[in-house]
């Protein structure tokens, strides 16, 4: 994740929570975070509200439990809560039980972030969005078993239908390019994706360049493999590629030609892995979420010390 020196004064608490939104895309820039949050509210007030609740709760719990102050200030304790809030409202709908689950889930994300940080530190890896995937995956999977939680699938839920051919049109391309960015936050809205891309541009040329390149590679890889164009246009196959592109191309590795090619290779791999994991989860109603990004990034980063052409940042 992006690192920069900062303190955690009382006046900076709101900024710490706001940075949690940007850290979903591995960025601590406040303007970037604000634009991404604005994009989420643009996609719908429920999405914006639950993203805000999740981020705020995770950040507050981290502060109360005495998490390392620098990580809290940089938003590193809030991003999984942000995604958990969105995942729950899009999967379960806007009900009182969903608000309570979002608060509980965001709190648990903080605990899992601490646990995974400890477990992965010896390998030079970070938790990424694994706490979100674990908490949201368990909650959404278990929800239909509880009458007070499950009220039927909401119409706003993300669908993963496999209908449609493999012939791709220009409209599918540009739509998919932008929704790849918004689907990182489980949002199928190209306008939100455009705002988010603008926010990433504020964070730096390398960030937006590798986000865009990852999106393009995700589209190309999905089309080459014969994925349905409806899913490509909806960003289902490309959002993990966006995250991998940013992570390897602009955050964790030095900015060299070899590392750049490695990042784009990872983006393509995550696209294929998205299809594999979607098929794996489908029989028991599980969700792919950002697992392809997590697994791809962990494996490729773990391999770097053994590959002399590649080099970690910092």
**How far is Cα 185 from Cα 239, in angstroms, rounded to an integer?**
9
DSSP string across 124-150: T---TTHHHHHHHHHHHHHGGG-TTT-
Q: Are 54 and 16 within 8 A, CB to CB?
A: no
Query: What letter would DSSP give residue 75?
Result: T
pLDDT tens series, the chain, 314 aa: 544 444 456 667 899 999 999 999 999 999 999 999 999 999 999 999 999 999 999 999 999 999 999 999 999 999 999 999 999 999 999 999 999 999 999 999 999 999 999 999 999 999 999 999 999 999 999 988 888 888 877 854 444 444 455 677 888 899 999 999 999 999 999 999 999 999 999 999 999 999 999 999 999 999 999 999 999 999 999 999 999 999 999 999 999 999 999 999 999 999 999 999 999 999 988 999 999 999 999 999 999 999 999 999 97
Question: Both ends of the chain: CA-CA distance in Å?
Answer: 12
d(CA 227, CA 223): 6
Domain boundaries 161-314, CATH class: mainly alpha
Is residue 286 within 8 Å of residue 91, measured between CB atoms? Answer: no
* Location of each CATH 1.10.3430.10 domain in the chain: 1-157, 161-314
Say which CATH architecture domain 1-157 belongs to: Orthogonal Bundle (1.10)
pTM, two decimals, is 0.93
């Amino acid at each position: 994740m992006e690192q920069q020196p900062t303190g955690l004064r009382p006046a900076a608490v709101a900024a710490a929570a706001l940075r949690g939104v940007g850290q979903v895309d591995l960025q601590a820039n406040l303007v970037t975070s604000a634009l991404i949050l604005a994009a989420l509210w643009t996609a719908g007030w429920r999405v914006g509200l639950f993203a805000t609740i999740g981020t705020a709760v995770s950040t507050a719990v981290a502060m109360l439990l005495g998490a390392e102050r620098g990580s809290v200030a940089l938003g590193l304790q809030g991003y999984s809560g942000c995604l958990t809030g969105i995942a729950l409202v899009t999967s379960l709908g806007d009900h009182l039980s969903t608000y309570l689950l979002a608060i509980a889930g965001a709190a648990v994300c903080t605990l899992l972030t601490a646990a995974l940080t400890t477990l992965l530190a010896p390998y030079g890896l970070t938790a990424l969005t694994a706490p979100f995937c674990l908490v949201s995956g368990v909650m959404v999977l278990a929800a239909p078993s509880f009458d007070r939680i499950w009220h039927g699938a909401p119409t706003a839920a993300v669908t993963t239908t496999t209908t449609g051919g493999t012939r791709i049109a220009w409209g599918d391309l540009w739509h998919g390019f932008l929704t790849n960015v918004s689907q990182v936050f489980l949002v199928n809205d190209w306008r939100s994706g455009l705002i988010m891309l603008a926010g990433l541009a504020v964070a730096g040329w390398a960030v937006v360049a590798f986000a865009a390149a990852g999106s393009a590679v995700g589209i190309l890889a999905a089309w080459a493999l014969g994925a349905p164009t409806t899913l490509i246009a909806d960003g289902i196959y490309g959002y993990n590629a966006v995250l991998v592109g940013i992570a390897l191309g602009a955050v964790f590795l030095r900015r060299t030609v070899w590392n750049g090619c490695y990042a784009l290779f990872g983006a393509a791999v995550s696209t294929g892995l998205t299809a594999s994991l979607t098929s794996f989860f489908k029989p028991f109603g599980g969700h792919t979420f950002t697992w392809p990004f997590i697994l791809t990034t962990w494996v490729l980063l773990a391999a770097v010390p053994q590959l002399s052409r590649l080099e970690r940042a910092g």
